[in-house]
C-alpha cells in the first residue's frame, strides 16, 4: 500500500471510550504545540499517511477524520480513490484535536487554520488571533473560578452550621 519514509515511532493512541480523568493516568500525555510544530519542520516532506494510520496514531475513528474533511478542516489528496495525507494534513489534524481538547469550536479552528495560508504567510495574523482568544478564555475561566470559590465557601459555611445543629440534638 503506502510506503512510509523515515518515520518516528507514533505516540500511543488514547483509548476511544476512556474518560479524560482515567486516560491521563494510563496514556502518554498529548504532544505540546511546540513538539507538533517541531516534528513537522523536518526536511522529510515526502512522507505520506493513510487514513487508518492517522486514526491509530491519534486514537480517533475514520468517521472523525471524514467529519473534519466535510467541515473543510482537512483536504487530503486522492490517489486512485484512496485518501492520502501529507505531513501538513497530519499537523492540521494534530492542531484540530488539540484545539478541541481545550474547547475551541470547529468554526474557530477553521478560522485559525485558514489564517495560515498556503505557505505560512498569515502566521502573524494567526498569533494575534490566538492571543486575543486565549486572553478572553483566561479572563472567562478566572471569573468562573472566582464564582466556584465563592460558592464553595458558602457551601462550607452551610455544611458547618448544619453539623453544629445536628450535634446539638
CB neighbour list of residue 60: distance below 8 Å, 6 or more residues apart: 13, 16, 54, 97
C-alpha radius of gyration, the chain, whole number: 22
Same domain, 32 and 98: yes
Pair (37, 73) in one structural domain = yes
Q: Are 83 and 153 contained in the same domain? A: no
Q: Is 65 exposed, middle or buried (0-12, 13-18, 19+ CB in 10 A)?
A: buried
Please check whether residues 55 and 100 belong to one and the same domain: yes
Please give the tally of structural domains in the chain: 2
Tally of residues, the chain: 169
How confident is the chain (169 residues) per 10-residue block, as mean pLDDT?
42 41 52 56 67 95 96 92 91 95 93 88 92 95 97 98 95
Name the grid cell of 64: 472523525
Q: What is the CATH number of the domain that holds 43?
A: 1.10.1660.10
110 and 158 belong to one structural domain: no
Contact, 70 vs 61, CB < 8 A? no
Alpha carbon distance, N-terminus to C-terminus of the chain:
77
Report CA-CA distances (Å) from 15 to 49, 68, 146: 21, 20, 33
**Residue 52: domain span:** 1-116
Residues 93 and 30 in one domain: yes
Residues 144 and 112 in one domain: no
- Which residues are CB-neighbours of 85 under 8 A, at least 6 positions away? 48, 49, 50, 51, 54, 74, 76, 77, 93
Do 37 and 91 contact (CB within 8 A), yes or no? yes
pTM: 0.64
Q: Are residues 79 and 153 in the same domain?
A: no
Residue 118, pLDDT score:
80
The reported pLDDT for the residue numbered 10 is 43
- Give the pLDDT of residue 34: 58
Check residue 80 and give its pLDDT: 87
Does residue 33 sit in the same domain as residue 105? yes
Amino acid at each position: 500500500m503506502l510506503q512510509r519514509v523515515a518515520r518516528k515511532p507514533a505516540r500511543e493512541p488514547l483509548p476511544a471510550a476512556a474518560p479524560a480523568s482515567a486516560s491521563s493516568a494510563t496514556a502518554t500525555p498529548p504532544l505540546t504545540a511546540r513538539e507538533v510544530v517541531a516534528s513537522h519542520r523536518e526536511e522529510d516532506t515526502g512522507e505520506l499517511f493513510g487514513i487508518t494510520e492517522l486514526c491509530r496514531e491519534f486514537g480517533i475513528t475514520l468517521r472523525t477524520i471524514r467529519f473534519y474533511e466535510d467541515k473543510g478542516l482537512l483536504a487530503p489528496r486522492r490517489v486512485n480513490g484512496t485518501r492520502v495525507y501529507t505531513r501538513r494534513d497530519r499537523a492540521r489534524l494534530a492542531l484540530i484535536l488539540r484545539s478541541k481538547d481545550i474547547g475551541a469550536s470547529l468554526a474557530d479552528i477553521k478560522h485559525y487554520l485558514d489564517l495560515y495560508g498556503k505557505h505560512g504567510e498569515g502566521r502573524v495574523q494567526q498569533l494575534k488571533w490566538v492571543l486575543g482568544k486565549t486572553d478572553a478564555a483566561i479572563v472567562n475561566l478566572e471569573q468562573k473560578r472566582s464564582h466556584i470559590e465563592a460558592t464553595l465557601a458558602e457551601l462550607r459555611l452551610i455544611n458547618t452550621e448544619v453539623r453544629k445543629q445536628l450535634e446539638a440534638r
